[in-house]
């Protein structure tokens, strides 16, 4: 678009629209002279904008008040237990750790895989037909409901070949474990990582690559030493967004991790037994403790939802910080 404008940059700047962005003539700002219908439209704009702000504030405030009212420090270190009243049902330490495990497994798969796919798409991408296919594949994965991914997970992880990843009794594979849930959740995060990383790679101007080739670096080395470090903020953003989706997903957890509220390790190996066993995460904990779930402990659900919301807010803030820092470092000049 800009390339077609053949104005030599040396000449004194003609009356161009100075700084980027549409100029706002003093007249255009004034809506007083508009027709009534246009003014009404502007009022709708303001109304909708304020409505969304109000909803967000209401949600956060509500969970802040309710959550702080019910959350107790001991809940973070006490696993859930069965009981008749809400004071007997324990805390959500298992759920919190479970969320951590699932997030680590999911992002450990999604990040390298996503970056690799993004690099291939942006830097190699041959043959063109395959690139198109891969692009639509990523889009399709992004559009697949997570409940369908979960059902697919029940097939693959219940196959005898993958039996070592979950509980199996006399040849029948249970198919539910942290491994299964984490692997499927990585698919949820994958499109976000790919999209964000690709955006970062494409923002790097061509002359940077050419400079690297000119000093004799191979394509692979250029990617590893120049392009990936340069697009680190976008990779981090993608990882954060993916992490948010992994932590927030419930359908896959309910299907592939089982509806238990505690760890249920398999076998004797210290760490592996937990990963092979079933467990719970915060989302599942909220789901089961909501009045519509199997257990009805709304106070616990509030507390866990509050913790969940805080984690999400922190992730959001992290994305913001990354963005701001990346902007401070500066963008590429073409």
Partner 1 sequence: MLGALVCTVVALLLAMIVFVFVHAWPSFAHNGLAWFGPGGDSVDNQLQTIFNSGQSGHYVYTFHAWSLIWSTILITGASVAIALFSSLFVAVFIVEFAPEWMRNILQPVVRLLASVPSVVYGLLGVLVVVPFIGNHLISESQKASVAGVISLTGYGLLAAVLILTVMIAPIMISIFSDGLRAVPPRWIEGSLAMGVNRWRTFWKIAVRTARPAIVAGTVLATARALGEAVMLAMVSGSVSWSPNPADGLIFVYEPSKPLAPTIIKSIDDLASKPANETLFAIAAVLLFSAAMLSFGGWVAKRSMRRYAGVA
Write the burial class of residue 317 (CB in 10 Å: 0-12 exposed, 13-18 middle, 19+ buried): exposed
Say whether residue 264 binds partner 1 (CB under 8 A).
Answer: no
Closest approach of partner 1 to the CB of residue 196, in Å:
13
| Interface stretch with partner 1, choices 76-84, 88-96, 202-210, 283-291 (CB under 8 A) | 283-291
In the complex, minimum distance from the CB of residue 199 to partner 1, in angstroms, rounded to a whole number: 11
Q: Is 164 in the site for partner 1 (CB under 8 A)?
A: no
Task: For residues 302 and 293, give the distance between their C-alpha atoms in angstroms, rounded to a whole number.
Answer: 13
User: Which alpha helices (H) appear in 120-205, and where do they start and end?
Assistant: 128-143, 146-157, 178-202
Joined together, the tokens standing for residue 322 give 């990354």
Residues 124-163 touching partner 1, rule: CB under 8 A, are: 124, 130, 133-134, 137-149, 151-152, 154-156
Q: Which residue from 104, 113, 162, 204 is in contact with partner 1, where contact means CB under 8 A?
A: 113
Contact call for residue 301 and partner 1 (CB under 8 A): yes
SS3 39: helix
Closer to partner 1 by Cβ: residue 77 or 140: 140
Whole-number minimum distance, CB 235 to partner 1, in Å? 16
Token pair recorded at residue 319 = 């994305």
- Three-state DSSP at 278 gives strand
Q: Residues 28 to 47: which contact partner 1 by CB under 8 A? A: 28-29, 31, 33-34, 38, 41-42, 44-46
Residues 166-205 that bind partner 1 (CB under 8 A): 187, 190
Cβ neighbours around 276 below 10 Å, total: 23
Find out whether 89 and 297 touch, Cβ atoms under 8 Å: yes
Lookup: tokens for 86: 């809400």
Residue 235: name the closest of 203, 200, 204, 208 by CA. 200
Residue closer to partner 1 (CB basis): 135 or 272: 135
Would you count residue 86 as binding partner 1 (CB under 8 A)? Answer: no
Query: Considering beta carbons, is residue 143 or 268 the nearer one to partner 1?
Result: 143
């Amino acid at each position: 678009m800009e390339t077609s404008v053949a104005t030599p940059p040396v000449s004194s700047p003609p009356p161009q629209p100075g700084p980027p962005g549409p100029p706002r003539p003093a007249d255009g700002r004034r809506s007083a002279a508009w027709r009534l219908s246009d003014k009404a439209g502007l009022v709708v704009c303001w109304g909708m904008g304020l409505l969304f702000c109000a909803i967000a504030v209401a949600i956060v405030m509500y969970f802040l008040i309710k959550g702080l009212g019910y959350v107790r420090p001991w809940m973070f270190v006490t696993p859930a237990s069965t009981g008749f009243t809400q004071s007997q049902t324990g805390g959500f330490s298992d759920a919190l750790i479970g969320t951590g495990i699932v997030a680590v497994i999911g992002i450990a798969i999604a990040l390298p895989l996503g970056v690799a796919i993004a690099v291939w798409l942006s830097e190699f991408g041959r043959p063109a037909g395959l690139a198109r296919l891969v692009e639509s594949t990523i889009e399709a994965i992004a559009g697949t409901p997570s409940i369908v991914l979960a059902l697919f997970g029940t097939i693959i992880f219940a196959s005898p070949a993958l039996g070592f990843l979950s509980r199996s009794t006399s040849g029948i594979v249970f198919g539910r474990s942290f491994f299964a849930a984490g692997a499927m959740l990585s698919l949820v995060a994958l499109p976000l990582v790919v999209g964000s990383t690709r955006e970062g790679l494409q923002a790097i101007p061509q002359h940077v690559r050419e400079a690297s080739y000119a000093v004799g670096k191979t394509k692979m080395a250029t990617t590893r030493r120049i392009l990936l470090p340069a697009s680190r903020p976008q990779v981090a953003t993608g990882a954060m967004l993916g992490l948010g989706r992994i932590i927030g997903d419930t359908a896959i957890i309910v299907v592939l991790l089982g509806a238990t509220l505690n760890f249920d390790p398999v076998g004797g190996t210290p760490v592996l037994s937990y990963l092979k066993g079933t467990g719970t995460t915060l989302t599942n904990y909220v789901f089961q403790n909501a009045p519509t779930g199997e257990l009805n402990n709304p106070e616990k659900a509030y507390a866990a939802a509050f913790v969940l919301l805080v984690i999400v807010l922190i992730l959001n803030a992290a994305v913001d910080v990354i963005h701001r820092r990346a902007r401070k470092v500066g963008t590429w000049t073409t």
